[in-house]
Amino acid sequence: MAIDYAERIPNNVNLAEDRRLRRALEQWQPGFQSWWREMGPAGYQATEVYLRTAISVDAQGWATFGHVRMPDYRWGIFLAEPHRDRTIPFGRHLGEPVWYEVPGEYRGALRRLIVTQGDTEPASVEQQRHLGATCPSLYDLRNLFQVNVEEGRHLWAMVYLLHAYFGRDGREEADTLLVRRSGSPDNPRILGAFNEPTPDWLSYLMFTFFTDRDGKYQLASLAESAFDPLSRTCRFMLTEEAHHMFVGETGVGRVVQRTCELMKEHDTADVGPFGGIDLKLIQKYLNFHYSVSIDLFGSELSTNAANYFSMGLKGRFNETARADDHQLSEARYSVARCNGDRIVDQDEPALLALNECLRDSYAIDCARGVAKWNRTIKAAGIDFELTLPHRGFHRAIGDWAAVKVAPDGSIISAQEWERCRDQWLPTDAERAFVGSLMQGVTAPGKFAGWIAPPARGINHQPLDFDYVRL
């Protein structure tokens, strides 16, 4: 399972012995490189960045750190170690040996899942491409670029599957992944949140907390797949994803901490004039990013999700560890639904409610992070709590898209929504204000005034390390 770095495409899938596949991927590689130059981080292509690169896929020490120019980053194909004698953990093929090829009847569904997953990876790089100019520190700049190169690698992971297992259709889909563009009116990325702009660092930190966390839950569900190459590639992607969520959780935490410091120093909640971001405004950003991220789980009741599960393509979070029949033939699941002007918990077939079930696991995880930020606020002696808005708030997908819901979960009229919208979501003026705070800080060890320094550096390096050599 060693990673072969002597190859043009580093890999641990024995590419050297599969000439056709290697040639096909080598033909895709220049397209990826030109996409990276065109749509990757603007202005930093020639800069050396302190990046980690995978050197092995086992749990201990899979990464090495060093200064690298991003276009020279060794993007490659890394699958987690196989689990011996793995059997299918759910669905109608429960207990059968996992698949090493794609069953003909599931080809379309599986390709669609892989393409949807793959599409989010370049999309996020495109969304973040202008952030380098306004970084709050070299530490944060380096973390941004680490996330970006790894999203690029996640694209490689999905493209490998498309090329290796889906023939000509797969190659065409892989090409199309380089053609769609985040936010493009004509050729947008597939999922809603990946077409939203990420104009400032607060949006970016919220994105890495909330939207990358959708990635964690979707990848974990795909890691349960009967299609073993998908399972293994998702397992390794999850180890990389952990850093992305760390960036979000600690990043928003540092903004909250700095705001609290300014509040105490100036004895006011209105820290804008002192170069900070009010807790109320942080709450509005949180409302926005949580709501667009929970849309990514799809409709409350979904036959697509039921089919993916029954076919064995996509499981639940922690599927293997769950103590039930893993087929959900009789099981019911409680789903919050809108009934006129009331919200009621309704018992639904668990098989149809899989998107909601995954969204529930995700919401619990988000609440844990928010509670951590609240501990920072409480420790500062400030009487304020950040909260997750109700799941029906500001939704564009599923049942909730048809109604207007306040953050506290009350159903309101369209007029009431219009009246209160600006209390719940950032206004243009507030976004412009946050934008105005975004002045690039690039002296080693220095941090912008709206965010506290982190507790420690990356890979045991000091905070004033030259994470990016300008």
Which residues are at the interface with ligand BYC (CB under 6 A)?
113, 116-117, 120-121, 124, 151, 191-192, 211-212, 214-215, 218, 295-299, 302, 304-305, 314, 355, 397
Nearer to ligand BYC among residue 118 and residue 453 (C-beta): 118
Q: How far apart are CA 231 and CA 236, in angstroms?
A: 9
Nearer to ligand BYC among residue 117 and residue 143 (C-beta): 117
Nearer to ligand BYC among residue 152 and residue 276 (C-beta): 152
CB of 289 to ligand BYC, least distance (A): 11
Residue-wise over 425-456: b if at least 16 C-beta within 10 A, else e? bbeeebbebbeebbeebeebeebbebbbbbee
The residue length of the chain stands at 470
Nearer to ligand BYC among residue 118 and residue 253 (C-beta): 118
CB of 45 to ligand BYC, least distance (A): 21
CB of 158 to ligand BYC, least distance (A): 10
Q: How far apart are CA 422 and CA 452, in angstroms?
A: 27
CB of 122 to ligand BYC, least distance (A): 9
Nearer to ligand BYC among residue 121 and residue 278 (C-beta): 121
Q: How far apart are CA 39 and CA 126, in angstroms?
A: 6
* Cα–chain center distance at 253: 18
CB of 295 to ligand BYC, least distance (A): 4
CB of 112 to ligand BYC, least distance (A): 7
CB of 84 to ligand BYC, least distance (A): 27
Nearer to ligand BYC among residue 141 and residue 353 (C-beta): 353
Q: How far apart are CA 167 and CA 419, in angstroms?
A: 53
Residues ≥6 apart with Cβ < 8 Å to 60: none
Residue written as token pair 């789903």: 335
Burial group, residue 238, by CB count within 10 angstroms (0-12, 13-18, 19+) = middle
Q: Which residue is nearest to ligand BYC (CB)?
A: 298
Give the DSSP letter string of 264-313: HHHT-S--GGGT---HHHHHHHHHHHHHHHHGGG--SS-HHHHHHHHHTS
In contact, 200 and 431? CB cutoff 8 Å: yes
Residues ≥6 apart with Cβ < 8 Å to 215: 120, 241, 244
Indicate the residue type of 44.
Answer: Y
CB of 292 to ligand BYC, least distance (A): 8
Nearer to ligand BYC among residue 367 and residue 401 (C-beta): 401
CB of 247 to ligand BYC, least distance (A): 11
Nearer to ligand BYC among residue 331 and residue 455 (C-beta): 331
Residue written as token pair 């995700």: 362
Q: How far apart are CA 234 and CA 36, in angstroms?
A: 22
Nearer to ligand BYC among residue 28 and residue 297 (C-beta): 297
Residue 245, phi then psi, degrees to nearest 5? -70, -30
